[in-house]
Structure 1
Amino acid sequence: MTTDLFKLRDIMIGVVTKMEFEITRIPPKEAGRIVGINRYGDTTLYIDVLGEDVAISELKKHFDSFRLLTEEKGIVEIGNPHDDDPLFILDPVDGSTNYIRGIGYASISLAVAFGKPPLTLNDIVVGVVKQMFFDKTYSAIKGEGAWVNKGRAHPSQADDITKAIIDIDIIKNIPPEKRRILYPIFEKVYDIRRLGSNALSLANVADGTLDAAIDLRTKLRVFDCAAAQLIAKESGAKIKMPDYPINIDVRVNYVAAATQKLLGEILEIIPTEFLKLLENQ
């Protein structure tokens, strides 16, 4: 096991960089080819399978034994992993529709935790998010801070919702009772975005590009935000979300903001019955 977390971070950056290289070699039409249906009934795209295969191949160069949690393959065990071996959490492409259509907002996410299962998000010690199309890599080490490439990541100082730019993930089939959560936010916020990559949106809260990010759809899974939530926390941003178990079946909600004051303003607007989505169950 690599105990030097800085060295481990550099290995993980190398893995996602190799993944991006291999994925971006594929023409968009081929990248978006449907190759199967996963356990949830969602389509599996060629870039998802390719990304997972590249990640496994690269991680094998550094680790004899490890576990990998991915959307398509579930839990993959390499070698004979024990509790002190790493558990990697991977999202090969977050924002695949953006990527296939050439919209420059997509990312690759890789996080790692150690310990005896069951593990939770609080056990994640390193997170890496690679922004595709751009030479920008976000990373964090628990207790050590967050970075954008080689510079430190810091959130904006936004503390007034009427001046904030917020990413809100909302899709057309969101249930009406959840859709109404957002109406008061729309009325107060300076402006909103729906960018299409949750990992990157959280990373953009970490570096000040966005002032806040919200997803209350109960749709995300842990690999969508495992790395990015650590990056946001370590940057100094504030995030309200349960300490979810690292489990492929768990659905995730969060509110992240640049400052505690802005987070408080957002939480005050959300109807009380929905705040339970952000509490440990």
Structure 2
Amino acid sequence: MIDWLAFSRACVRDLEAVLAQLPTRAEREPIMGAGEGGDDTTAIDAAAEAAVVARLEALGADLILVSEELGMRTFGAGGDLRVIVDPIDGSVNAKRGIPFFSLSLAVAHGPAMDDVRFGFVHDFGSGEEWVAQRGGGAFLDGTPLAGPGPKETLEILALEGTTTAAVAAAVPALHGVAHRVRVMGSLALSLCHLAAGRVDAVCCLKPARSIDIAAAQLLVRERGYAIELFEDPPFAAAPLDLDQRSRVAAAGTPELCARLAAALRTV
């Protein structure tokens, strides 16, 4: 039986060493190639993924890895066990030295989002550790998430997947839906902040991939909040692969989530 929390924490230590070895833009930013996820692979992306892959290889377990750069890779005999990893979610922030990026790691016993049983997100800026167990709750630094959740009105909406053009197109449609907008740069962390009630909703303005949301969505759902790939529902059946199928909306209630989705469908 693999202790996935201990494994995830070991990956964090390895990635902290990688960050220390590549301390500035000069070391982190060079492009090494193109990842299977479609984005450029920079030096920091490649080094971070190599560290996580080495940890997985050391397990000697039968599993399938779904990762930003390598794509899908079979370890041993493969099977139903899947590990979905984005070693650096918020890589633009990481490259530029902005302290808001994370390790996102999910473990599933099957090929779909509803099969995720464990989610782990570590914020390398604040040091916060976000963990969820399917049916076991959501935790921040070992303490169950409780207290005030997202508001019934959308005071703060976190937007991710943001280019200038995407924001310019979306914001007019969101006028009257959300009072304030934040663009923080890590979809995984923005969803964690929704789970904690720090923001009231999250939208990704480009089609999301499972590697970006598989871990953090479990915190959102364990809190009883709503999340949907509104252009390719249902969320629970979303495949754990690298394809970009739909934009994502998440909020405290299905009604608010649907309202956000309706606004974005006009864009």
What TM-score range do you get, normalising by the shorter chain? Answer: 0.7 to 0.9
In 2, Cα distance between equivalents of 1:231 and 1:16: 19
Partner secondary structure for residue 247 of structure 2: strand
Q: 1:167 aligns with which of 153, 158, 162?
A: 158
Matches within 5 A, 1:1-281: 1-2=1-2, 7-28=3-24, 29-39=26-36, 42-83=39-80, 86-115=81-110, 119-154=111-146, 156-161=149-154, 164-169=155-160, 170-174=162-166, 179-180=169-170, 182-218=171-207, 220-241=208-229, 242=235, 243-260=237-254, 262-267=256-261, 269-271=263-265
Native 8 Å contact 2:177 2:260 kept in 1 = no
> CA separation in 2, counterparts of 1:267 and 1:250?
17
The verdict on how the C-alpha distance between 1:252 and 1:127 changes in structure 2, with shifts beyond 3 A counting, is farther
Write the distance in 2 (CA, Å) between the matches of 1:43 and 1:158: 37
Shift of the 175–70 alpha-carbon distance from structure 1 to 2, 3 Å rule, reads same
The 3-state SS of whatever aligns with 1:217 is coil
Deviation, 1:223, is: 0.4
What does the per-residue CA deviation read over 1:156-186, in whole Å, with 9 as the maximum and x for residues that have no partner? 240013xx1111223124398xx25x42323
Q: Residue 72 of structure 1: SS of its match in structure 2?
A: coil
Q: TM-score, normalised by structure 1?
A: 0.82
8 A Cα contact 2:12 2:103, kept in partner: yes
Task: Describe the superposition over 1:14-33 as per-residue Cα deviations: whole angstroms up to 9, x where unpaired.
Answer: 32343233234312221122
Q: Give the Cα–Cα distance (whole angstroms) in 2 for the partners of residues 41 and 123 of structure 1.
A: 25
Given the superposition, is the C-alpha separation of residues 158 and 92 from structure 1 closer, same or farther in structure 2, using an over 3 Å criterion? Answer: same
Identity among equivalent pairs (%): 29
> What amino acid maps onto 1:224 in structure 2?
D
The structural deviation recorded for 1:187 is 3.6
Aligned to 1:279: none
The 1:104/1:198 distance shift into structure 2, 3 A limit, reads same
Cα displacement string for residues 216-269 of structure 1 (whole angstroms, at most 9, x for unaligned residues)? 422x21101111111111123222232311121243421111344543543454
Runs of 4+ in 1 over 6 A off after TM superposition: none
Distance 1:69 1:40, change over 3 A: closer
Query: Structure 2: any 5+ residue segments left out of the alignment?
Result: 230-234
SS, match of residue 12 in structure 2: helix
Verify the 8 A CA contact 2:66 2:82 in the aligned structure 1. yes
Query: Is contact 1:17-1:130 (8 Å) kept?
Result: no
Q: Do 1:109 and 1:227's aligned partners in 2 also have CA atoms closer than 8 Å?
A: yes
Aligned counterparts of 1:25 and 1:79: Cα–Cα separation in 2: 31
Cα distance change on mapping 1:239 and 1:183 into 2, 3 Å = same
Q: Give 3-state SS (helix, strand or coil) of 1:166's partner.
A: strand
Any unmatched runs of 5+ in structure 1?
Answer: 275-281
Work out the CA distance in 1 between the residues paired with 2:182 and 2:42: 26
Contact 2:37-2:71 at 8 Å conserved across structures: no
Displacement of 1:210 in angstroms is 1.2
Q: Secondary structure of 1:174's partner?
A: helix
**Distance 1:108-1:24 versus aligned 2 partners, 3 A rule:** farther
The secondary structure found in structure 1 opposite 2:163 is coil
Change (3 A) 1:175 1:149: closer
Question: Quick one: distance in 2 between partners of 1:103 and 1:96?
Answer: 10
Q: Which amino acid aligns with 1:72?
A: E
**Matched residue SS, 1:224:** helix
RMSD of the TM alignment (CA)? 2.4
